[in-house]
Amino acid sequence: MISQLFTEAVLIGILTSGIRLATPYLFASIGEMFGQRSGVLNLGVEGMMLMGAFAAFYVTLTTGSPWLGLLASILVGTLMGLAMAVISVTFQAEQGISGIGVYLFGLGMSELLFKKMLGTVETVSGFRPLAIPVLSDIPIIGPILFQQSAMVYLAYLLVPVAWFVLYRTTFGLKIRAVGENPAAADSLGVSVKRTRYMTVTLGGALAGVAGASLSIALLNVFQQNLTSGIGFIAVALVYFGGWRPYGVLFGALLFSMVNALQLWIQALNIPIPFDASELLIMMPYVLTILVLMFSAGRVRKPSALGAIYERGT
Amino acid sequence: MIDFLVRYPRLGRLFDLLLPLLATLAALAVGAIMLQLLGANPFVAYRALLEGAFGSQNALADTIVRATPLLLVGLGICIAFRAGVINIGGEGQFIAGALPATLLGLSFPDAPAIIIIPAALLCGFLGGAVWGSIPGLLKAYFNVNEILSTIMLNIIAVQFMNFLLRGPMIDPVQLQAASAIPQTARLNPAFDLPRWVPTRLHAGALLAVVLAVVVYILLWRTTTGYRIRAVGFNPDASRYAGINVKRNIVLALLLSGAFAGLAGAVQVYGVSHRMITDGSAAGFTGSAGFNGIVAALFGKLHPLGAIPASFIFGALIVGANSLQRAMQVPAALITALNGLVVVFVVCSDIFSRRLARRRQIGVAEVGSKGAGAQGGGGAGERPPTAANVGPPDSASAQPAPPATAAKVGATIKPVAHVAGQEASSD
Amino acid sequence: MKRTLWLSLLLILAMVLVACGGTQTDTTTEEQPAATEEGAAEEAAPTEEEAAAPEEAAGPFRVAVVMPSGINDLAFSQSMFDALTAIQNEMGADNFEFVYSENMFVVEDAAAALRDYASQGYDLVIGHGSQYGSSLQEIAPDFPDTSFAWGTTVDTFGIANIYAYEARSEEGGYVNGVLAANLSTSNTLGVVGPIETGDAKLYVDGFVAGAKAAKPDITVNVNYIGSFSDIALATEAANTLVGAGADALTGTAQMVVGAIGVAEESNVPWFGTQSSQTSLAPSVVVANQVYDWTGVLNTIIEQVKAGTLGGESFALTLENGGLVMDYNPDYALPEAAKAAADEAAAGIAAGTISVFGGETAAPAEEPAAEAAPLTFGMILVGPKNDHGWSQAQAEGGQFIVDNLPGSEMILFESLNSADKPEATLEGVVDDMVASGATLIFTTSDEFEEDTLAVAQKYPDIVFINSTGDDAKTGEAPANLGNVMSRMEDMKAVAGCAAALASQTGNIGYLGPLINFETRRLASSVFLGAKYCNENLRAEPFDDLGFTVTWIGFWFNIPGVTLDPSEVVTSFFDTGTDVVLSGIDTTEAIDIAGQRAAQGDTVYAIPYDYIAACDIAPDVCLGVPFFSWGPAYLNIATAVANGTWEQSWDWLPADWDNLTDPALTNVGWISGPALTEEMQASLDQFIAGMASGEINVWTGPINLQDGTAYIADGATATDDEIWYLPQLLEGMDGPSE
């Protein structure tokens, strides 16, 4: 029965699904990665995603333009990120806990707005799958990679861009310096506060886009708690990826591919031990831990992650 | 204002104590605006909140019942944070404790309660310990970050629970009934924790308070506790001092999970008397695994501080639900409001830290300058007596950036010196 | 510093707000309407008088409902919210008010809400979620003047102020399945489900059954995603199902909203359930099974107004209009598909199609007896849908309701110490009598002693206990009768069939607990098997093996009884190839079906319930069944007419109509696994039994310990059969 999995159609299906599923994780995780590289842990990603998802959905629904919707999600995400920056940088609040607060706020607020402004579940005409000419005709690779929606392409483009910013620009250097040794960076004239404000706000904006990728590209619908834990997994994937863009990409793909695999196993009626679909549903989570167990040895997290920095005297 | 409080230290301590409360009120003030926007009268709404949480014997009992798992989880969180690890796996550990505890009660329905109840609580404690030790071992020996592993383990625990409750552990009646509600049979009523009839208040609340004292003693009066805190404050220095850092990290997460597991067992034997799932973690845990973190922080990560903190947070949850019913505002508002409260309370901590530093500078002006500028906790030097619940501890709540702390902690002494120090999250 | 000041200001403001709130007590109700939404006008905080007298006719009828998800989930919660809104529109806001708490997925919070609403004096408090049952069970007794309702379930716990309601979602699932199968060209359907339980499982199972009924070779792929909220995963599951070849999709619960989009994107038809989902994708939604709770709610409201606060359970069905097949007018549905669906829906409504049991005989049209209205109670030891003893009893009760005009049944199921430790027979009877029952059936020998006690307590109420013998021994007061059918004869037939079919010569009997009844039934099987082995089998076995394993109770109670599944498995593992069930539930045929699927040649004979073969037709040699309807109808008619007299009835089969439950008291229906050859031999045996030529209880018969019991050539008397002291010689297994 397992052999059913190894047909071309199924493998293409798994890869296509996996690539699609990884999209929101990529946006959110890359954003979170910037924050963490500068020393700020933001557990509120889920709340920001929800706010972004709603903003994008509402604007797309009323204007008919998904691009305006995307813009709205960036705006709202930026605001949420800014709020998190105020909390974690200016008020120097304990980051893990304040993230939970931001999450709860976003969860409640997005639903409240949804109830007041829409009232019922609707669908929207968001980003459609966009076949890239020529490339999409390549056998196997074409349908997997080049028949996705614009948001999916954006997510994967973001990875090299993030790498470039982090390792090849002054801004990236500042981020890493601030995350490793804020006091030293400070003494060299890098403003710890400003850098962290920028990364956390950027993280918020990307979390907003991650939300939009759900509400106006992949799902084209908004419902309370639309993200349902994706934001938390996204935070976990930053650790998985060792705070590096390509690591995050690997983590997001691994997690999503395994998830796609378990969906396919069910869809093909392949027998499961004890007839327990739960065993399949656990798979991506178990595998993520297992893979990290055997690969995490050399990864070191940003030294100042989660620590509050206050200028010494 | 800070100057004023520094000058009058007693007022300053009162301020420290009241700060989370004041921040909560501030958040509620923002909430009032939201209520007004929704067309609900905030005065009436908050009156409903207060009455819902404290208005009657039953309301008060409900608040305490809701606070009990928060306190138990919170105790574990205190231990973990003191060791420098963030345990956001409370939800999974809660479930991992509840499952074996329930199974025990179901397996021996005719055994005497005097044996089953303690054994079940022990099962809960051990179940949580096992689930908590997994991220501990992963962190200590495989360098797997605990945030990642606990998030994943939460979901694994939920799926495991769903499988058991709709399969092997399902109520035999449900198995035959078409509805097949995923729940276990009700435990023998003889196993119910003693209850203060007619309210829902059960003996688990008392147990939690007693354990808070135990955890306090563990952390501040035993070598084990000292080691855990030392590891949290400065792992490098601890290592030089001959403390097995890895073992203590595992121990802290194990204990942290154990308390969450115990909370799960107490919830089953005290409140629900069976396990039931709606497919999500929160449906069974009531989000105690997350809210316990918040409650612990409200209590300044001090086991005794967690007692009033969980009570207040429990009241907020119970009262807010009652507000929802009285005003018929969407439940989402309550969620958002809870978020605001959390944010405001964590933000308010800065005032407490500022005050502490100003006091320290005051002390420093008199005495030596020492490490004061980097935030070595002045108050932490005092012997840990019951009197330093709250104020002295929170006064020392200023975390130092690890990079600098490492320099300070090059010898063992400063570690002991900052024994009461709040460990920042790693 | 500035910030500090600013914060202090806020704090002061907050304190003032709260302080003021404490004094503003009288404005409560005036402020309310502004706080409402979506027309749900209500006064949340009732005045003291209202709270004190909840059932006064004056003032509006007030309902509070607690729901696990949002009121706009386009699914379960919304179906209830829509119904309440509709009732309000119909009755007017002056006469009907409702309040709600949504997103109460934390059971503890929901319990607090239910308790609070009850204490506020609402006339009816609804817990709209099956997970709230155990909470209501504890809350309702504290508020005896408040009516509660919960669903989806049939269980009122025997508490007088709880109503239960359920949606038979498998019915619409079946119709949707028939539709989907008709529209599918790829012969593959896809289903997205949350967790494999409850309402969702029923719907999905119904859908699969309907699809298979329409096209037996169709593939239905089901993806359970493990969550009620993960919209993203549900959406990808739909994508996967389409990728795996599905060209029609359905799904249940609130997280499928994104999956509907996938259907639209892929242009495959979608079938909705719970609420109408047409608005989400008008181009592909074909039909929705809509839960319309208004009928049930109106009935409950009327009854509460009339002073009956609970004790009854309701079901939404296609027949009673509670389940509505809502077709999307914009979808060009082919005539043939629509016709097939209509036929399925009509068949289910008429009872000619049972969703999980294929076609069944149409209920016989008996001339309705002229009788006064009668309310009777029926108390079951197991659940009413156990496919076994209790279901057969419940259908006997239903037979009265169907055939005695004006009769009403109060059903209480699963009265046993494992399921409902708090409930007692006396308590249940008290409630039934309070609800007006004048005839009560206590349908287990487990209830024998307690029935004797309540019969003495209520001398004016007629009690019928099956299968006791108090009326025979004279212990019973004049208002207590016993009914038992001569299942022994059908068991002999079953034993005969087993002996004819066995290839190993080893027969297993899955027994419940040990008493006179179970001993004589097991022994009848043995005697039937022995007779047919010796007289009708082409190649008789020299030494027919016959083993009885007692599990300890009528059905499986984990940790208390043996696990019947394991018992059956070990039978099959040790060379037995036919297992007969003597217990109330269906493990024997369940396991046999699984073993056959693995390629083993094994057979099973279930028990009690006429349609039990449907579980695994291919291994079923037949089923001896109880049909209590005719006897119960006679009793009920007599009670209603005041002509009932005490009796101890051991009712024979109607040998000419063994397969017709409307006529015979016990029957036998041969299963598909019986070959024509075997059937011919079996018919010979049945004919012999019917004419009296064959009596398996003819001596010489020795007891298990070798004692002679029935002399050579003699036949056993009724008493000798009824009070059989041991199993018989030749049977393995304990007698005590």
What CATH number is given to the structural domain containing A285?
1.10.3470
Q: What confidence tens digit (pLDDT) does each residue in A15-45 have?
A: 999 999 999 999 999 999 999 999 999 999 9
Closest residue on chain A to B147 (Cα): A236
Q: What confidence tens digit (pLDDT) does each residue in C533-546 have?
A: 888 888 888 888 99
Domains identified in chain C, total number: 3
Give, as one character, the DSSP assignment of residue C463: E
- B12: pLDDT strictly greater than 60: yes
CA B26 to chain centre: 22
Among C240, C242, C598, pick the best mutation site for testing chain A contact (most A Cβ within 10 A).
C240
Q: What is the mean pLDDT of chain A?
A: 90
Q: How far apart are CA B204 and CA A243, in angstroms?
A: 42
Domain that holds residue A86: 2-296
Element holding C288 (H helix, E strand): strand C285-291
In chain A, residues with a C-beta closer than 8 Å to the C-beta of C227 are 228
Q: How far apart are CA B145 and CA B127, in angstroms?
A: 21
Maximum pairwise Cα distance, chain A: 69
Q: Which of C601, C654, C602 is nearest to C625 (CA)?
A: C654
Predicted local distance difference test score (pLDDT) of residue C595: 87
* Backbone angles phi and psi of C508, in degrees to 5: -115, 145
Take residue C7 and report the two structure tokens written for it. 């914060």
| Residue in A235, A237, A293 nearest the CB of B142 | A293
Q: Where are the beta strands (DSSP E) in C389-451?
A: 407-412, 439-442
Take residue C646 and report the two structure tokens written for it. 């005490």
- C698: pLDDT strictly greater than 70: yes
Q: What confidence tens digit (pLDDT) does each residue in C221-256 have?
A: 999 998 888 899 999 999 999 988 899 999 998 889
Q: Where are the beta strands (DSSP E) in C476-528?
A: 480-485, 506-511
Q: What confidence tens digit (pLDDT) does each residue in A207-259 have?
A: 999 999 999 999 999 988 899 899 999 999 999 998 999 999 999 999 999 99
Alpha carbon dihedral C592, C595, C596, C600, in 10-degree steps, equals -120
Q: How far apart are CA C492 and CA C490, in angstroms?
A: 5
Predicted local distance difference test score (pLDDT) of residue C643: 79
CA angle A11/A16/A19 to nearest 5° reads 125
Closest residue on chain A to B341 (Cα): A101
What CATH number is given to the structural domain containing C697?
3.40.50.2300
In chain C, residues with a C-beta closer than 8 Å to the C-beta of A259 are 233, 236
CA distance A21 to chain B (A): 17
Residue with tokens 């040794």: A181
Domain that holds residue B307: 2-417
Element holding B157 (H helix, E strand): helix B146-166
| Pair (C515, C525) in one structural domain | yes
Closest residue on chain B to C166 (Cα): B179
Do residues C262 and C239 touch, judged by C-beta distance below 8 A? yes
Q: How far apart are CA B73 and CA B264, in angstroms?
A: 9
Closest residue on chain B to C556 (Cα): B172
| Residue in A220, A228, A268 nearest the CB of C227 | A228
Identify the domain boundary among C359, C387, C417: C359
A 22-81 residues with CB < 8 A to C: 24
Q: Which of C327, C154, C697 is nearest to B181 (CA)?
A: C154
Q: Which residue did the predictor score with more confidence, C17 or B317?
A: B317
Q: CA–CA distance from B343 to each of B309, C319, C695 (Å)?
A: 15, 54, 84
Give, as one character, the DSSP assignment of residue C373: -
Q: Which of B395, B301, B397, B304 is nearest to B87 (CA)?
A: B301
In chain C, residues with a C-beta closer than 8 Å to the C-beta of B22 are 11
Take residue C270 and report the two structure tokens written for it. 């979608």
| Pair (C475, C492) in one structural domain | no
Do residues C117 and C143 touch, judged by C-beta distance below 8 A? no
Q: How far apart are CA B115 and CA B113, in angstroms?
A: 5
Domain that holds residue C193: 169-291+319-359
| Pair (C454, C517) in one structural domain | no
Domains identified in chain B, total number: 1
Pairing mode of beta strands C374-379, C439-442:
parallel
In chain C, residues with a C-beta closer than 8 Å to the C-beta of A214 are 231-232
Closest residue on chain C to A259 (Cα): C233
Confidence of residue B374 (pLDDT cuts 50, 70, 90): very low
Take residue B408 and report the two structure tokens written for it. 């300070």
| Pair (C473, C432) in one structural domain | yes
Q: What confidence tens digit (pLDDT) does each residue in C309-345 have?
A: 988 888 899 988 899 999 999 998 998 899 999 999 9
Do residues C17 and B27 touch, judged by C-beta distance below 8 A? no
In chain B, residues with a C-beta closer than 8 Å to the C-beta of C199 are 179
Do residues C392 and C666 touch, judged by C-beta distance below 8 A? no
CA distance A279 to chain C (A): 10
Q: How far apart are CA B210 and CA B200, in angstroms?
A: 19
Q: How far apart are CA A222 and CA A155, in angstroms?
A: 20
Confidence of residue B2 (pLDDT cuts 50, 70, 90): low
| Pair (C481, C491) in one structural domain | no
| Pair (C518, C480) in one structural domain | no
Give, as one character, the DSSP assignment of residue A20: H
Looking at the domain assignment, is residue B422 inside a domain?
Answer: no
Predicted local distance difference test score (pLDDT) of residue C131: 84
Closest residue on chain A to B233 (Cα): A307
Pairing mode of beta strands C622-626, C603-605:
unpaired
What is the amino acid identity at position C240? T
Average pLDDT over residues B242-249: 90
Identify the domain boundary among C450, C465, C485: C485
Average pLDDT over residues B342-361: 82
Percent of chain B scored above 90 by pLDDT? 43
Predicted local distance difference test score (pLDDT) of residue C222: 92
In chain C, residues with a C-beta closer than 8 Å to the C-beta of B50 are 18, 21-22
Looking at the domain assignment, is residue B75 inside a domain?
Answer: yes
Q: Which of A192, A169, A202 is nearest to A42 (CA)?
A: A202
- B363: pLDDT strictly greater than 70: no
Predicted local distance difference test score (pLDDT) of residue C155: 80
Q: How far apart are CA C190 and CA C729, in angstroms?
A: 55
CA angle C495/C501/C507 to nearest 5° reads 50
Domains identified in chain A, total number: 1
In chain C, residues with a C-beta closer than 8 Å to the C-beta of A211 are none
Identify the domain boundary among C359, C389, C411: C359
* Backbone angles phi and psi of C626, in degrees to 5: -95, 140
Residue with tokens 């998030």: B151
| Pair (C427, C542) in one structural domain | no
First to last CA, chain A: 69
What is the amino acid identity at position B199? T
| Pair (C457, C597) in one structural domain | no
Predicted local distance difference test score (pLDDT) of residue A147: 82
Percent of chain B scored above 70 by pLDDT? 82
Q: Is C719 helix (H, G, I), strand (E, B) or coil?
A: helix
Instruction: Please state the three-class secondary structure of B255-297 as a single string.
Output: HHHHHHHHHHHHHHHHHHCCCECCCCHHHHHCCHHHHHHHHHH
Q: How many residues does chain C have?
A: 736
| Pair (C272, C323) in one structural domain | yes
CA distance C162 to chain B (A): 17
- The reply to whether residue C107 touches residue B283, judged by beta carbons under 8 angstroms, is yes
| Pair (C575, C695) in one structural domain | yes
Predicted local distance difference test score (pLDDT) of residue A168: 95
Burial C606-629 (b: 16+ CB within 10 A, else e): bbbbbbbbbbbeebbbbbbbbbbb
- B365: pLDDT strictly greater than 70: no
- Whether the CB of B328 is below 8 Å from some CB of chain A: the reply is no
**10 Å Cβ neighbour count for C22?**
12
- The reply to whether residue B159 touches residue A282, judged by beta carbons under 8 angstroms, is yes
- Touching B (3+ Cβ pairs <8 A), the chains are A, C
CA angle A180/A186/A192 to nearest 5° reads 70
Looking at the domain assignment, is residue B426 inside a domain?
Answer: no
Q: What confidence tens digit (pLDDT) does each residue in B21-69 have?
A: 888 889 999 999 989 988 889 999 999 999 989 988 888 999 999 999 9
> Which residues of C make CB contacts under 8 Å with A?
37-38, 70, 72-74, 103, 190, 196, 219, 221-227, 229-233, 235-237, 239-241, 243-244, 246, 254-255, 257-258, 260-261, 264, 279-281
In chain B, residues with a C-beta closer than 8 Å to the C-beta of C106 are 282-283, 286-287
CA distance B362 to chain C (A): 18
Q: How far apart are CA B99 and CA C526, in angstroms?
A: 44
In chain B, residues with a C-beta closer than 8 Å to the C-beta of C102 are 330-331
Q: How far apart are CA A182 and CA A214, in angstroms?
A: 36
| Residue in B46, B52, B166 nearest the CB of C195 | B166
Predicted local distance difference test score (pLDDT) of residue C424: 82
Provide the number of CB pairs (under 8 Å) joining chain A to chain C: 116
Helical residues (DSSP H) of A140-181, grouped into ranges: 141-145, 150-168, 170-180
Predicted local distance difference test score (pLDDT) of residue B362: 60
Looking at the domain assignment, is residue C130 inside a domain?
Answer: no
Q: Is C126 helix (H, G, I), strand (E, B) or coil?
A: strand
* Backbone angles phi and psi of C364, in degrees to 5: -70, 140
Q: How far apart are CA C329 and CA C287, in angstroms?
A: 9
Average pLDDT over residues C391-414: 83
Q: How far apart are CA A21 and CA A25, in angstroms?
A: 8
Q: CA–CA distance from C316 to each of C151, C290, C362 (Å)?
A: 11, 10, 21
- Whether the CB of B280 is below 8 Å from some CB of chain C: the reply is yes
Q: How far apart are CA B247 and CA C212, in angstroms?
A: 58
Instruction: Order across the sheet with C313-316: list the strands.
Output: C96-101, C61-66, C124-128, C147-151, C162-167, C313-316
Q: What confidence tens digit (pLDDT) does each residue in A163-218 have?
A: 999 999 999 999 999 999 999 999 988 999 999 999 999 999 999 999 999 999 99
Q: Which residue did the predictor score with more confidence, C45 or B308?
A: B308
User: Which residues face C625 on adjacent strands?
Assistant: C608, C667
What is the amino acid identity at position B267? Q
Q: Is A149 helix (H, G, I), strand (E, B) or coil?
A: strand
Looking at the domain assignment, is residue B276 inside a domain?
Answer: yes
Which residues, including other chains, have CB under 8 Å from residue B209's CB and lie 6 or more apart? B71, B307
Element holding C149 (H helix, E strand): strand C147-151
Do residues B105 and B186 touch, judged by C-beta distance below 8 A? no
In chain B, residues with a C-beta closer than 8 Å to the C-beta of C194 are 279
Q: Which of A253, A215, A233 is nearest to A18 (CA)?
A: A253
Q: How far apart are CA A145 and CA A130, in angstroms?
A: 11
Q: Which residue did the predictor score with more confidence, B417 or A250?
A: A250
